[in-house]
Amino acid sequence: MIDIAVTVLRVWLGVVMLAHGYHHARSIPGTTRWFESKGFRRPRFNALVSASGELAIGSALIVGMATSVAAAGVAAITVVAFWSIHRFAGFFVFKRPDEGWEYVATLFVAAMVLALLGPGPASIDRALGWDAVLSGTSGLMLIGGGVAAAAVQLGLMWRKPQSD
């Protein structure tokens, strides 16, 4: 049953990330303006990286390829989103103008669970024998790498916008 549950979690997280990537990619100019309004330097670059990263991560999770690496990508995205946007609104997602942080925290926890437990049996990782190598402690280390990558991106690319 755990194998089925982790497969369902992996595929659903992949669908969520793919949908986010599609949403960002369908209007790069709009996504660029949004990144700029949130205090990101080089907003077009961030919009392109965000859209392409989310599309790649979502696709990899759906098929179960390099699952813990993709999960580390989710961790990086959610840490950037938490720190730059969601933490200011508090816990609840319905707090406006920006949503709270429980949604991104839930995605982060789901990614960490996948990195620890592996992709499940219906995955490219299992077929290639990568699941045992990329999960458990290795998976947790990859999540740590995702958090570190997020810190680098935030340090280089983001400054809290000044309120009027």
Band the pLDDT of 139: cuts 50, 70, 90: very high
Q: Beta partners for 40?
A: 158
Question: Is 43 within 8 Å of 35 (Cβ atoms)?
Answer: yes
SS3 content of the chain, % helix, strand, coil (to 5): 75, 0, 25
The fraction of the chain above a pLDDT of 70, given in percent, is 98
**Tokens representing 59?**
């696709």
Report the pLDDT value the prediction gives residue 100, as an integer from 0 to 100. 85
* pLDDT of 37 above 70: yes
Query: How does the average pLDDT of the chain come out, rounded?
Result: 94
Burial of 141 (0-12, 13-18, 19+ CB in 10 A): middle
* pLDDT of 67 above 50: yes
d(CA 48, CA 28): 7
Largest CA distance in the chain: 55
77-122 pLDDT, tens digit each:
999 999 999 998 888 877 667 788 999 999 999 999 999 999 999 9
Q: Which DSSP string corresponds to 95-109?
A: -SSS--SHHHHHHHH
Cβ neighbours of residue 124 under 8 Å, at least 6 residues apart? Answer: 63, 64, 65, 130
Band the pLDDT of 164: cuts 50, 70, 90: very low
The more confident residue out of 59 and 162 is: 59
The model carries a pTM of 0.93
